[in-house]
Structure 1
């Protein structure tokens, strides 16, 4: 399966998690995990959705080794980052080490995405979607 499609599917899962988390926080009246909820919606749902769209629109970028590394590093680091953040937001620092490692891995994966975009995304590649004459 192509990396762009995988990103889109993971984004949909993070959207479900983010919405479920927000609803749960509202029902129980405990907003302590609001920071994690926001990160899951932005870094999970929105960012992954955009990565997926870019990789689908620009197959050269989506089929590159950089895209595959980006996908795996992002999808390993994000849940571990969020787990550590949830624990800290609830006042438990036992998993603080997760916040020392995995946000940095996530940033590394974003750097790979940026390099991939600058290397493999060309204006001519997207013109095929608009010049159907």
Structure 2
């Protein structure tokens, strides 16, 4: 799961940088908030999730981690796509989609938090730390 998070994070940074470069070239910055969200929620957050799951692999093996992954990676593109359409068109018809998909991302992050609290407080982490110390 950690590698998957990191690979998807690399895709998000590529998209975010390309969007930023395109905005600069055409001098149209209406999508600046989309650019920022793709970089923060896509690149930074996904990379951090991936690194945490790398160092705590037992947390990455849970159903919560998998559910978090899918909620985040369905919610984020839908949210940013809807926001982009809204910003370009000036029409707020996409607002319900942006709101619902934002909530999907938030639920995914809450599941990540719950997963960490459950897994980092478990005996598995203490045993893993003990093994690391003896190596």
Fold similarity call, TM over 0.5? yes
Whole-angstrom CA distance in 2 between matches of 1:85 and 1:96: 8
Output the CA distance in 2 between the equivalents of 1:127 and 1:50. 24
Structure 2 unpaired stretches of 5+: none
2:69 is aligned to 71
Q: Select 1:81's aligned residue among 73, 79, 82.
A: 79
Matches within 5 A, 1:1-133: 3-90=1-88, 91-122=90-121, 124=126, 125=128, 131=133
Structure 1: 5+ residue runs without aligned partners? none
**Of Structure 1 and Structure 2, which has the larger fraction of its residues in helix?**
2
- 1:60–1:121 contact (8 Å) kept in structure 2: no
Question: Taking structure 1 as the reference length, what is the TM-score of the superposition?
Answer: 0.90
What is the total number of aligned residue pairs between the two structures?
130
Distance 2:129 2:91 in 1: 48
**TM-score, normalised via structure 2 length:** 0.89
CA–CA distance in 2 between the matches of 1:132 and 1:60? 19
**RMSD between superposed Cα atoms in Å:** 1.6
Shift of 1:126: 5.1
Residue 80 of structure 1 deviates from its aligned partner by 0.1
Instruction: Find the aligned partners of 1:42 and 1:126 in 2 and give their Cα distance.
Output: 30
